[in-house]
Amino acid sequence: MKGQSHKGDQPMFKKVLVANRGEIALRVMRTCHEMGIATVAVYSEADRKAAHVLKADQAVFLGESEPAQSYLNIDKIIAAAKQTGAEAIHPGYGFLAENPLFAERCEQEAVVFIGPPSQVIRALGDKTVARRTVAGKGVPVIPGMDRPQSDPAILAREAANIGYPVLIKAAAGGGGKGMRVVASPEDFSEACVSASSEAKRAFSDGSIYLEKYLSRPRHVEFQIVADMHGHVIHLLERECSIQRRHQKIIEETPSPVMTPQLRQRMGAAAVAVAKASGYMNAGTVEFLVDQQGGFYFLEVNTRLQVEHPITEMVTGLDIVRIQLEVAAGNALRLAQEDVRGRGHAIECRIYAEDPEKGFYPSPGRIIYMQEPSGPGIRNDCGVYTGFQVPVEYDPILSKLIAHAEDREQAISRMIQALEDYIILGVRTPVPFLIDVLKSEAFRKGDTFTDFIEAHFSGWKPNRCDEDAACAAFIIDELSGVKKATASSGTVSAESSPWQTLGQWGR
Amino acid sequence: MQYRLKLDEKMISFQAEKKGDHGIALSRDGCLLDVQYSVISSHHLNLVVNGSPVNAYIAGDGNVKTVIIRGVPYTIEDADNLETRARGKKGLQAVPQDITPPMPAVVVRILVAAGDRVKQGDKVIVVSSMKMETTLTAPSDGTVKAVNVAEGDKVMPGQILIDIDRDDAGPTRE
């Protein structure tokens, strides 16, 4: 496991195409460049000036902004790999990352897909197949359907059998896309149509199925890595219970609820799931943990997870490097006992959204941005000042990660970093995240998936600096330092109103 | 110099007076604020308000600005200039009467056609922004007069996606 030699038995790729955008494309390229691997970016119309395009050694234009014409277009991405001579494709997360047809196409075209084999993605990517596979290994699963279904009548009957509230999930799902909690039968059919349509657009697959909705569980997942030689290990857990719209916004490791015994049992279950499915490359086995410490298999994410950086912070490992190594055919250079967590890491997802308006998306141009820094701070960022955040894609701007000796210090460090993180032009959840991290419930580790509804429903920030804010407004008006964008204003760059206004009052 | 600012639906009046090159004195309801400032960049002011230093980050056009202090955004409008720009803005604050997206979006599904009867609260159109779907509903009982968009269209706030003839519109009804 010593890092002195990065050479394995198999030659490393010389060029990798990153079939993604935003912060994750940049993050993958960073490791590639560290390893001396050239990178190819792909981009759409809306992303002509995106950060990942600027970072790559080469960039290939795919087409219109609509995902189907660009980041979801398998033919165009394969053609880009061929055209540039990329030997491997890293799919990032989202888009084609968990699409078995894409992985299969890569296999046919002799381009290495950096992820599991297509048949494993197919088996595990269909959450219902995953449930069947795992249940056979004695890992507990949540009550629900074993097969996806499109017939509304059958779905309604299944919902009644399972009992409301039920959770509609996309069979191909992830990231909360195509997921709906339905409390009563009246809302069921529109929720199914809407979930299925969202799933169709997010994953090119509209299949849905139902699970019993568990109340107040914790979401705990295990990072796994597996090579082609049958070695599978886990890289500890992540707790991702703080969610809005079933999408994680704060993740941490270790989980506040974890004990060495539970970690041992869940880690073994995660590895068993990976082995049962013939897993290769990096993946994540998700569980729900109930209030009694019982755990249930949820699903396997057959991709690099958004929140992988917290695992990297506490283990000191580079998961993208491991992905590249095992994809090239090299054996894992780590045994389970080599994996040790040090300290505590927290990630906050910074989306373009307005936490005061139900976390509605807030696309727009980044007018000004100041990124936080300091010991133990990492910001995986995909945007920059002047960038127009497109409406077509996921609203994630960046992921802010704080690592410190223990949980309390990591929380304090994160709060400081959030207060230093300035993004003007779009709304972000920064003030909301600050209040969550400062809350008693979070500090106590009372993190359940209903955390936001339970503690922060109807949240507004405490606006205790309104005088200073108004002073800033007035000074900005009067200081005479005018922006190039001030076209409609009465204030010109040349003359300050202090000079032109002889008298007070207007 | 008198300022009337609107912050979060609240009107605040300030009397402002310049003090030297980098200071102003503000008075709010008789309370005095001594503010020293330095302009760090066109979006960054360092303020010392009654002796307490604070960084303020600011962006916006002439009348509406967003100020971020300690991570919290403040949206501030110059109320004296509000009247001229109230058109369109007010409608968003009140109960929405028009079927318009709350943010830039793409039309996903149209659930009604011209001539359909709708009841208040009926789902009429689904839009998606940044992969999140939002269902817009009929603001009142009525008849769908026109569907102005097609599935896949990019739409902006303020744009009327579906016209509805309201039953209670009375004589103004066309």
Query: What is the tens place of the pLDDT at every residue in B65-116?
Result: 999 999 999 999 998 865 444 444 443 444 457 898 888 888 989 999 999 9
Residue A93 maps to a domain: yes
- A473-492 average pLDDT score: 59
Q: Shortest CB distance from B8 goes to which of A190, A463, A491?
A: A463
| Co-location of A192 and A107 in the same domain | no
Contact A469 B56 (CB under 8 A): yes
**HSE value, Cβ hemisphere, 13 Å, CA-based, for A436:** 30
| Co-location of A412 and A397 in the same domain | yes
> Catalytic residue at A378?
no
| Min Cα–Cα distance to chain B from A5, Å | 42
Q: Shortest CB distance from A471 goes to which of B47, B57, B131?
A: B47
For A434, name the nearest residue in chain B, comparing CA atoms only: B71
A26-35, A214-223, A446-455, B141-150: which is most confident: A26-35
A137 is written with which tokens? 């290994």
Cα gap B116→B109, rounded to integer Å = 16
| A 37-76 → B contacts, CB under 8 A | none
| B 27-86 → A contacts, CB under 8 A | 28, 33, 35, 37, 39, 42-45, 47, 49, 54, 56-59, 61-62, 65-74, 76, 78, 80
C-beta separation of B132 from A362 below 8 A: no
Domain, as residue range, for A69: 15-114
Residue A445 pLDDT > 80: yes
Residue A299 pLDDT > 70: yes
| Co-location of A222 and A353 in the same domain | yes
Pairing of strands A218-226, B64-69: unpaired
Residues of chain B with CATH 2.40.50.100: 94-172
Cα gap A298→A289, rounded to integer Å = 10
Contact B61 A360 (CB under 8 A): no
For B13, name the nearest residue in chain A, comparing CA atoms only: A470
Give chain B positions within 8 Å (CB) of A361.
103, 129-130, 132
Residue A420 pLDDT > 90: yes
Contact A506 B7 (CB under 8 A): no
The answer to whether residue A485 neighbours chain B at the CB level (below 8 Å) is yes
| Co-location of A163 and A69 in the same domain | no
Query: By percentage, how much of chain A surpasses pLDDT 90?
Result: 77
- What is the model's pTM? 0.82
| B 91-110 → A contacts, CB under 8 A | 102-106, 108-109
Q: Shortest CB distance from B71 goes to which of A434, A472, A490?
A: A434
Torsion angles phi and psi, residue A262, rounded to 5: -65, -40
CATH of B94-172, one of 3.40.50.12280, 3.30.70.3340, 2.40.50.100, 3.20.20.60: 2.40.50.100
Listed range (A139-143, A290-294, A362-366) with the worst mean pLDDT = A290-294
For B6, name the nearest residue in chain A, comparing CA atoms only: A470
Cα gap A201→B33, rounded to integer Å = 54
- A468-473 average pLDDT score: 96
| Co-location of A164 and A87 in the same domain | no
CATH code (residue A192): 3.30.1490.20
Give me the count of residues in chain B. 174
Cα gap A295→A287, rounded to integer Å = 6
Cα gap A23→A352, rounded to integer Å = 13
| Co-location of A407 and A266 in the same domain | yes
State residue B169's pLDDT score: 60
pLDDT in tens, A257-283: 999 999 999 999 999 999 999 999 999
Higher pLDDT, A233 or A174: A233
Summary mean pLDDT of chain A: 90
Q: What is the dihedral of CA B38, B43, B49, B55, to 10 degrees?
A: -100
Pairing of strands A360-361, A353-354: antiparallel
Cα gap A477→A489, rounded to integer Å = 10
Give chain B positions within 8 Å (CB) of A202.
131
| Co-location of A105 and A150 in the same domain | no
DSSP per-residue letters across A90-125: E--SSTTTT-HHHHHHHHHTT-EESSS-HHHHHHHH
B81 is written with which tokens? 């200039």
Residue A336 maps to a domain: yes
CATH fold for domain B2-85? Glycoprotein, Type 4 Pilin (3.30.700)
| Min Cα–Cα distance to chain A from B2, Å | 5
Q: Shortest CB distance from B129 goes to which of A391, A476, A478?
A: A391
Number of structural domains in chain A:
4
Element (H, E) at B91: helix B89-93
The answer to whether residue A348 neighbours chain B at the CB level (below 8 Å) is no
Contact B130 A361 (CB under 8 A): yes
Q: Cα–chain-centroid distance for residue B157?
A: 10
Residue type, B97: Q
For A491, name the nearest residue in chain B, comparing CA atoms only: B62
DSSP-derived 3-state class of residue A326: helix
| Co-location of A407 and A477 in the same domain | no
DSSP per-residue letters across A211-230: EE--SS-EEEEEEEEE-TTS
Residues of chain B with CATH 3.30.700.30: 2-85
State residue A306's pLDDT score: 97
State residue B168's pLDDT score: 72
Q: Which of A21, A180, A218, A303 is catalytic?
A: A303
Count of A-B CB contacts under 8 Å: 186
Contact B74 A465 (CB under 8 A): yes
The answer to whether residue A352 neighbours chain B at the CB level (below 8 Å) is yes
If one counts every other C-beta atom within 10 angstroms of the C-beta of residue A5, the result is 7
C-beta separation of A315 from A340 below 8 A: yes
pLDDT band per the 50, 70, 90 thresholds, residue A373: very high
The answer to whether residue B18 neighbours chain A at the CB level (below 8 Å) is yes
Residue A201 pLDDT > 90: no
- A212-226 average pLDDT score: 93
Cα gap B15→A136, rounded to integer Å = 74
C-beta separation of A429 from A418 below 8 A: no
- Residue ending a domain, among A212, A242, A260, is A212
A335 is written with which tokens? 């045994």
The answer to whether residue B25 neighbours chain A at the CB level (below 8 Å) is no
State residue A230's pLDDT score: 94
| Co-location of A287 and A364 in the same domain | yes
DSSP per-residue letters across A58-86: EEEEEESSSGGGTTT-HHHHHHHHHHHT-
| Co-location of A233 and A380 in the same domain | yes
Give me the count of residues in chain A. 506
A481 is written with which tokens? 């330092």
Contact A473 B76 (CB under 8 A): yes
pLDDT band per the 50, 70, 90 thresholds, residue A480: low
**HSE value, Cβ hemisphere, 13 Å, CA-based, for A396:** 26
| Min Cα–Cα distance to chain A from B153, Å | 11
| Co-location of A194 and A300 in the same domain | no
For A180, name the nearest residue in chain B, comparing CA atoms only: B133
Contact A481 B14 (CB under 8 A): no
State residue B82's pLDDT score: 58
Contact A491 B28 (CB under 8 A): no
State residue A168's pLDDT score: 94
| A 120-159 → B contacts, CB under 8 A | none
B70 is written with which tokens? 């300690």
Residue A21 maps to a domain: yes
Cβ neighbours of residue A380 closer than 8 Å, sequence gap 6 or more: A23, A24, A26, A27, A309, A398, A399, A401
Q: What does the H/E/C string look like for A234-301?
A: EEEEEEEEEEECCEEEEEEECCCCCCHHHHHHHHHHHHHHHHHCCCCEEEEEEEEECCCCCEEEEEEE
| Co-location of A45 and A157 in the same domain | no
pLDDT band per the 50, 70, 90 thresholds, residue A8: low
- Residue ending a domain, among A195, A212, A229, is A212
Residue A179 maps to a domain: yes
C-beta separation of B54 from B41 below 8 A: no
Contact B130 A477 (CB under 8 A): no
